[in-house]
Amino acid sequence: MKISIAQFKSELGAVEENFSTAERLIAAAKNSDVILLPELWSTGYYPTPVENFAEADGERTKNFLCAAAKKFSVNIIGGSVIVESGGKIFNRCFVANRHGELAAAYDKTHLFSFAQEDKVFSAGEKISVVELDGVKCGLAICYDLRFPEFIRKIALMGAEIIFIPAAWSLKRLVPRQILTKARAIENQIFVVFANSSGKSEVVNPRGEVVVESGRGEEILTAEINLNARAEVISAMNLLADRNLSVD
């Protein structure tokens, strides 16, 4: 599976400009199987008051992603955008498959209280694993990465790859690099991390960095060999060896 990360730093509140950038980068990565965008790419992270930038049910983004996915016959994991639904505001990821169909949606579960996300967003309540081209793909957003029990639940649902759009400060780069490796190793999955601030990466189930970006706008591409994951599991099946009998 050929995966591309469309890494770019959105202009805060400049929705039209950010949509144009996303459109251009998706077109540049059109020969991939999956394209991943960063967190809150349409608005930047994050303009206030957020309700002024929230899309009603995410309709504009859904239409944009589905049209682009169909046009280029590519799966798009659409980072995340600010969505108003049922009187609440969510940080939501939409997924469009290569047929131009909406395949999944996921709301950020763990809200970053340090940035007061919990004051403006509502937390998601459901895990999302979607099948793209026969591959089970899990979804998480930025801060979710810090919660191993959450990522483990995604792995237990059969995810082979976890896609994580983010707006992670490079001031906390080292812990993030450790966390992506740890989540990959302990769950024996690929981790694809798209960061608006740069240093996006793809990590294999051994915890090895397959590719890593710089800090500016970039298309980062990697070929993921799922047979390599099968080899890791056949040598040491961590999930099968879990002992849940202890208190």
Question: How far is it, in rounded angstroms, from Cα 245 to Cα 235?
Answer: 24
Q: What are phi and psi of 203, to 5 degrees?
A: -120, 135
Consecutive H or E run containing 88: strand 88-96
Q: Are strands 2-7 and 34-36 parallel, antiparallel or unpaired?
A: parallel
Q: Active site includes 137?
A: no
The residues, any chain, with a CB within 8 Å of residue 110's CB and separated by 6 or more, are: 123, 143, 144, 146, 147, 150
Nearest to 93 by CA among 220, 104, 154: 104
Q: Which among 39, 55, 117, 201 is annotated as catalytic?
A: 39
Helix, strand, coil percentages (3-state) for the chain, rounded to 5, are: 30, 30, 40
Q: Which among 66, 93, 142, 201 is annotated as catalytic?
A: 142
Q: Active site includes 108?
A: yes
Question: How far is it, in rounded angstroms, from Cα 159 to Cα 226?
Answer: 12
Q: Which residue has the tokens 């059109």?
A: 30
Q: Active site includes 88?
A: no
Q: Which among 108, 117, 181, 201 is annotated as catalytic?
A: 108
Provide the annotated active-site residues: 39, 108, 142
